[in-house]
Amino acid sequence: MLVSRRQALRIGGTATIATLGSVIPAAEPTAERTTRGVVLYPFDLSLADWPERAAKAGLNTIGLHAAQRFDVLTDFVHSAAGDRFFADCKKLDIAVEYELHAMGELLSRELYYKDPTLFRVDGTGRRNPDANCNPFSATALDIIAEKAVQCAQRFKSDTGRYFYWPDDGGKWDESPQAKGMNASDQSLLVENHILNALRRHVDPRATLAHICYHETMEPPRLVKPVDGVFLEFAPIERDAKTASKLAALAANMRIFGAQTSQVLEYWLDVSLYSGWRRPAVKLPWNEQDCRADVAAYRKMGVRHITTFATYIDADYARRNGDPQPVIEAYGKILRQS
């Protein structure tokens, strides 16, 4: 079933969790680091010892997520809780990244009233600011790239990897100019432009994700990624046990390569299983499925693996029990694969 990630932002209090006492696995040398991660909303850090929990499980990356806007993330980054989180991650050698549905922030919908040509043509032939952009507008691309640079300076990635995704499930341009192009082609036009700006103004070694998700599941047909655009495969639409998912990954890896490709999974995504509603349900953790998925990904050469773990927060722990055994089981699968 095709589903779409949405923010459901109501938080239900806090809970006190006992300090974790076990020894934290030693960190890898930076040069050998492969991603073993989780992706969280800032709200999930009401479970304030998430960095320690991640480190105890042998994870080395936490991605902070925004589904629509950056205001809540910005507030967290500049808060006392944010300061503690970043200090804990640094102490534990956990890299912090930002995985963001960014298009609405990089190209304000308000600009439609100034210049409609910045936005896509929809199926009726009209300019529509409902989603994404006009990827054939040089002005739109420059605005997006400038905002991406500002975003990268505000949300500095510890790894040099940046994640500025299109609108969640949003459509792309349907004008005659887009003939023969799919959503991945159009997304790459934007991503290539963003990465060039990031390398000029932020980090000459920056890399940028092309998310393979919803509209962009099909590989690009006409546009080639510039060096430094890597694949992030997020198969929310497909049953993790079907061959079609692995076929889609293989087709995309033929374009983007295996070495830098990342899989973003949903094994710990309580928000998904809860239908993006509060209170959160207990995670239906399936260790066997996770292990089989990871084995299949490793066989294909995937080195970087993370999962949404959204809604695993203090309220979740109070209602459903300590999530640490599941977090550690997930980390063990990644470490042993």
- The tens-digit pLDDT sequence of the chain (337 residues) is 333 433 332 223 333 333 344 444 444 434 468 999 999 999 999 999 999 999 999 999 999 999 999 999 999 999 999 999 999 999 999 999 999 999 999 999 999 999 999 999 999 999 999 999 999 999 999 999 999 999 999 999 999 999 999 999 999 999 999 999 999 999 999 999 999 999 999 999 999 999 999 999 999 999 999 999 999 999 997 555 578 899 999 999 999 999 999 999 999 999 999 999 999 999 999 999 999 999 999 999 999 999 999 999 999 999 999 999 999 999 999 999 9
Q: Which long-range contacts (CB under 8 A, 24 or more apart) does 297-302 make?
A: 297/249, 297/263, 298/337, 300/246, 300/249, 300/250, 300/253, 300/258, 301/253, 301/258, 301/259, 301/261, 302/249, 302/258, 302/261, 302/262, 302/263
**Domain layout of the chain by residue ranges:** 36-336
Q: Which CATH number fits domain 36-336: 1.10.1660.10, 3.40.50.300, 3.30.1130.10, 3.20.20.80?
A: 3.20.20.80
CA angle 56, 59, 61 (to 5 degrees): 130
Which pair of tokens denotes residue 271? 């928000």
Angle ∠(42,90,99) on CA atoms, nearest 5 = 40
β-pair type (304-308, 36-40): parallel
Burial-class residue 205 by CB neighbours within 10 Å (0-12, 13-18, 19+): exposed
Q: How far apart are CA 153 and CA 151, in angstroms?
A: 5
Angstrom distance (rounded) from CA 91 to CA 87: 6
Measured CA to CA, the distance from residue 240 to residue 237 in angstroms comes to 9
